[in-house]
Amino acid sequence: MIGEATSSGGGGKDDSAAVSARKNKKPNYSRFTQQELPACKPILTPGWVITSFIVVGVVFIPIGLASLYASEHVVEIVERYDKDCIPPDYRNNSLHYIQTSEINKTCTMTINVPKHMKSPVFIYYELDNFYQNHRRYVKSRSDKQLRSKASEGVTETCKPEAVTSNGQPIVPCGLVAWSLFNDTYRFSVKKEVLDVSKKNIAWKSDQEHKFGSDVYPKNFQSGSLIGGGKLNPSIPLSEQVDLIVWMRTAALPNFRKLYGKIEKDLQANTTIAVTIENNYNTYSFGGKKKLVLSTTSWIGGKNSFLGRAYIAIGGLCLFLAVCFVFVYVFKPRPLGDPSYLSWNRNPSGQMN
């Protein structure tokens, strides 16, 4: 009996040890779990810091100069026309002018080319004070409807431009499409018309994946309140490049969008006659409209900010490097012995 009791007691201890082992979530020891694998632990000595700043300065300043050089060789012409295209009789009532369809909206202006512009010459329209990044505006669209004809009725996110008065879905629906830019430009030099190409002005990925080739405009701009341009109902959305460009909403209230390209060199001092159909309403919210002609370089359009930023950062790094050199030479500080660092004194990480 005593032997049996002793045996029973021993079995109880074994059971409690097994239960304790199961409850213990401590991982098995390994150099990985204990973060003891070999690692680079740099010590920022004055030599390393000064060298790093010099390298950044030497690399950034030439990049900035090259960017500035490329930007300065971009020829850009910017002409504001929203005020000049208003007839004198309507200068004090621009809203009535733009909202009345009986009034002729055609106006002409001339542009002088200051330097030789190598083809292709890109044509942009620029809008100021137009908040395409407003939350309700950005959300007022249906990407499912744009992609597939089967989703024609998916218009829940398109309010207030979702359906017609009799409940028929609008394709494309939403405020973004409804406010499509509809000013047009025609160019001529000495009465010779310059063709404006629309080829490849929209992103290829948008045409192939975001706008369906089987989706056609339907009930678009058919209400009493017209927001912007109209669409040809016989052309699928994947080929409506002006719409595709407009639907890629801008992040800032002042933006440019590509209108087309002139596939011909423009010589210096050439006078271009521009015929504008001034249809788009920016007068109700105090917006501005500008026509932009521009060439490009390897960094894109005319933009000196990138070059100035590189030069500023590179110059700052060189200045700091010189300051650190003076401090290190005239007021040096003794460096500590790296052998006293904890990871050097106890490389294995084991506590003494």
Three-class HEC string of the chain: CHHHHHHHHHHHHHHHHHHHHHHCCCCCCCCCCCCCCCCCCCCCCHHHHHHHHHHHHHHHHHHHHHHHHHHHCCCEEEEECCCCCCCHHHCCCHHHHHHCCCCCCEEEEEEECCCCECCCEEEEEEEECCCCCCHHHHHCCCHHHHHCHHHCCCCHHHCCCCECCCCCECECCCHHHHCCCCCEEEEEECCEEECCECCCCCCHHHHHHHCCCCCCCECCCCCCCCCCCCCCCCCCHHHCHHHHHHHCCCCCCCEEEEEEEECCCECCCCEEEEEEECCCCCHHHCCEEEEEEECCECCECCCCHHHHHHHHHHHHHHHHHHHHHHHHHHCCCCCCCHHHCHHHHCCCCCCC
What's the CA gap between 192 and 157, in Å, rounded?
A: 47
pLDDT score at 21: 56
pLDDT at 253: 95
pLDDT above 70: residue 251? yes
Q: Contact, 151 vs 212, CB < 8 A?
A: no
What is the torsional sign of CA 305, 74, 254, 250? negative
pLDDT digits (tens, 9 = 90+) for 98-138: 988 889 999 999 999 999 999 999 999 999 999 999 999 99
| Per-residue confidence (pLDDT) for residue 23, from 0 to 100 | 66
Of 267, 264, 262, 254, the C-alpha closest to 123 is: 262
pLDDT tens-digit map of 256-284? 999 999 999 999 999 999 999 999 999 99
Q: Read off the pLDDT of residues 162-215 as tens digits, 9 standing for 90 and up.
A: 999 888 999 999 999 999 999 999 999 998 999 999 999 999 999 999 999 999
To the nearest whole number, what is the mean pLDDT of the chain?
88
The region, left, alpha or beta by phi > 0 then psi within -120 to 50, assigned to residue 286 is: left
pLDDT tens digits for range 296-328 = 999 888 989 999 999 999 999 999 999 999 998
- Residue 33: the pLDDT is 79
Cβ neighbors of 131 (< 8 A, separation 6 or more) are: 137, 253
Residue 7, pLDDT above cutoff 60:
no
What is residue 14's predicted lDDT score, i.e. its pLDDT? 60
Q: Is the confidence at residue 5, as pLDDT, over 70? A: no
Query: Each residue of 27-84: pLDDT tens digit?
Result: 778 888 777 788 777 778 888 899 999 999 999 999 999 999 999 999 999 999 999 9
Please give the model's pTM, rounded to 2 decimal places: 0.80
Q: Is residue 332 scored above 90 in pLDDT?
A: no
